[in-house]
Chains A and B, each alone.
Chain A
Amino acid sequence: MADKKIVIRVAEILIDELKLEDVTPQTFEPEVDLIDELGIDSMDLTTVVLVLQDEYGITIDEDDYPKLKNVKLIAEYIEEKLKDK
């Protein structure tokens, strides 16, 4: 189960960086597929990754991008990275 605070913050970053409309961090469906359903591509994802790295002081490897399919998985990934710090 992903930390709710991280889920909300990831959603906030996605909304801000990708200028998503008609959605708030609270209404962002954490399991919606960012690539298949929201049409996010590699450049968008990289932008979000750079902001997340800053925010949490972690390093996200390029090879891990395919794991970052939705907000819930991103939040869980961040939690794991924070445990390893």
Chain B
Amino acid sequence: MNVKHTRKPPAGTGASGTKMKFSDIIADPAVRERWEKVRKYFFLRESTYDMTNRCNIRCDGCYYYEGDKQFASENGNPDDWRALMKIEKERGITYVVLAGAEPSLVPELCRVCYEEIPLGSIASNGFKRIPESVGYKIHISVWGNDETSLRVRSAKNLLLRQIENYRGDPRAVWVYTFTRDNIGEIHEVMDILSKNDCRATFNVFSAPVGYTGGLRHTAESLARTRAAMMEVLSRYPDHVLFSPYNVVAHTHAQGLHDLYTCSYPRMNPSTDIGLGRSFRQYRTDLTWDRSAACCVPDTDCADCRHYAAGSAVVTARLYRHGTDPEAFKAWLDYVDTYLAVWVMDYQKGENLLNRMTPPPGFDL
């Protein structure tokens, strides 16, 4: 992995370089209210699961079909999945992410997971509707307008199909992945999604290890992505689940690991506490490998700006944001956004900070 040495901000120093007592920061009623709202969810402990090695479309840059995991045999036995979920529950896992390759192809396994661990989400291309009996959040991937989807995913009328399947469904969040090539298409896509009262959040294409295709971001495309995100965020406040700090964290010239020190086992040798202790990424044969374990395995860690990674990695850095009032508001907005995207029935509040602020120890 080509990862640069990570610069950790000086202890106790916030985004603006000032240091303030945490009790003084949360004395602000709006901050206190948001803090009390989000901290109720500190019990969430996630792991992720590849459900099947099949998919009904094939996308350029898909993380699942990189590395060894795609060759794992498929265990489709609901009893085995139920047994695994029971073990996971005993291990303290309270939140599951069902991903690779396409979980909608195995709805009975998704249902078993939901029956055992009722908090979670499913990453889906949205082509096939997942039954309502599976009460997880459903993250529907969008990689541009329909013309682009046809080109990079060989999927015709994908957005229309997704909307037909999930319009009005409180489980659904559309996840628009900004690649180097589709930045300007967000306006067209958001126009369609908002007219159909669908909510979206943003992801940033993070190249798999060894990826040589044309979707990998450059400094210039990240800057354009940042501008597009900010514009769409202000134009569609009721339909975009994001905050200015999300924009900063995911479009910074430095990736998430450099900014926040990734806490997933793949990059974190410590098994003392947190993700390094509890997180596992299971393959379709129900095995897992600590050295490969993160939310999007086979991503090039140096290029990782993945929304799923940020949800854990930025959130875990409460300490670095907890001594500066602006940094802490930004962090609260980030966590409020992540919970609205990932947890059923959680309602996002208004962002506390409407401008971009830098990550602690870094510039914008």
Contact = CB atoms under 8 A, between A and B. Distances in A.
Contacts, number: 56
B321 to A, nearest CB: 10
Nearest to A60: B11
A50 B22 contact: yes
Contact of B316 (A43, A51, A54, A59): A43
A45 B274 CA distance: 10
A51 B22 contact: yes
B319 A62 contact: yes
B45 A66 contact: no
Report whether over half of chain B's contact residues are helix, strand or loop; otherwise say mixed: loop
A1 B274 CA distance: 29
Nearest to B263: A42
Q: How large is the interface on B (under 10, 10 to 19, 20 to 34, 35 or more residues)?
A: 20 to 34
A39 B22 CA distance: 24
A4 to B, nearest CB: 24
A46 B270 contact: no
A5 to B, nearest CB: 20
Interface string A21-56: 000000000000001000101111111011101100
Contacts of B272: 35, 65-66
B67 interface: no
Interface residues of A, number: 20
B22 A45 contact: no
A61 interface: yes
A45 B11 contact: no
Contacts of A46: 318-319, 322
B12 to A, nearest CB: 5
Chain B CB within 10 Å — which of A35, A43, A60, A61 has the most?
A43
Contact of A41 (B21, B23, B42, B319): B42
A19 to B, nearest CB: 10
A53 to B, nearest CB: 7
A60 B319 CA distance: 10
Contacts of A53: 12, 21-22, 323
A66 B270 contact: yes
A59 B22 CA distance: 12
Interface in B40-61: 42-43, 45
A66 B21 contact: no
A80 to B, nearest CB: 15
Given A51-B22, A65-B273, A59 B11 contact: yes
A63 to B, nearest CB: 9
Interface of A: 35, 39, 41-47, 49-51, 53-54, 59-62, 65-66
11 contacts: A42-B275, A43-B42, A44-B42, A46-B322, A47-B318, A50-B319, A51-B23, A53-B323, A60-B11, A62-B8, A66-B272
